[in-house]
């Protein structure tokens, strides 16, 4: 369990931060950018959950969406822990927290279950329809940015493949979930190519 007794340490005042095992790196390091962007996605998901809670009013579909997002928020902290400890830096007898295949598989099962109740798309979707869906679309785009950061990191350093799979699946999950909270797609806002000309 983590115990935080002091919030500021002054350790980052010179533009550096510590990774999971204490190594100091610049705050603009691509690894820090990767786990910082997953934290940003987590924050946007928190806003989506607030919007869902306001709209829920006993809707079991929205309660289910909130439960899924709660698990995802916890997973994103796991993902941040994975990313902040470079592969191979585990201490003897201590394993770093790593993303595992079962987390990716859970997202896939949830995507398949939600998608089975949706009508096939005949156009791309514009973010909106409901406040919760708009926040989920924003979270989706932040997750895609986190994925770009992670693949940039993986081009130079080893990154857990399950971590990259998870963030890739997450953006798909958030897209489908946005449709689900938009009354199973009935309130989706469809793109009309050239419609504003």
> Which architecture does CATH list for 23-87+98-186?
Up-down Bundle (1.20)
Cα of first residue to Cα of last residue in the chain, in angstroms, is 56
CB-based contact 147:141 (threshold 8 Å): no
Mean pLDDT estimate for the chain: 89
Domain ranges of the chain: 23-87+98-186
pLDDT at 26 over 60: no
Given a cut of 80, is residue 44 above it in pLDDT?
A: yes
61-120 residue pLDDT tens? 899 999 999 999 999 999 999 998 987 755 544 678 999 999 999 999 999 999 999 999
182: pLDDT strictly greater than 70: yes
Share of the chain above pLDDT 90, in %: 69
Phi, psi of 22 (to 5 degrees): 100, -10
From 11-20, 43-52, 161-170, the region with the lowest mean pLDDT: 11-20
């Amino acid at each position: 369990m983590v115990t935080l007794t002091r919030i500021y340490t002054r350790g980052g005042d010179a533009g550096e931060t510590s990774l999971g095992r204490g190594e100091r790196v610049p705050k603009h390091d691509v690894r820090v950018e990767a786990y910082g962007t997953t934290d940003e996605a987590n924050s946007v998901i928190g806003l989506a959950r607030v919007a869902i809670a306001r709209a829920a009013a006993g809707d079991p579909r929205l309660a289910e969406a909130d439960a899924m997002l709660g698990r995802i928020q916890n997973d994103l902290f796991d993902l941040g822990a994975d990313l902040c400890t470079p592969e191979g830096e585990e201490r003897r007898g201590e394993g770093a927290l790593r993303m595992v295949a079962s987390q990716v598989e859970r997202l896939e099962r949830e995507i398949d279950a939600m998608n089975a109740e949706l009508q096939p798309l005949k156009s791309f979707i514009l973010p909106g329809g409901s406040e919760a869906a708009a926040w989920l679309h924003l979270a989706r785009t932040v997750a895609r940015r986190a994925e770009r950061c992670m693949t940039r990191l993986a081009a130079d350093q080893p990154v857990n493949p399950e971590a990259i799979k998870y963030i890739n699946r997450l953006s798909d999950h958030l897209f489908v979930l946005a449709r689900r909270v938009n009354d199973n797609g009935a309130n989706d806002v469809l793109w009309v190519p050239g419609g504003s000309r």
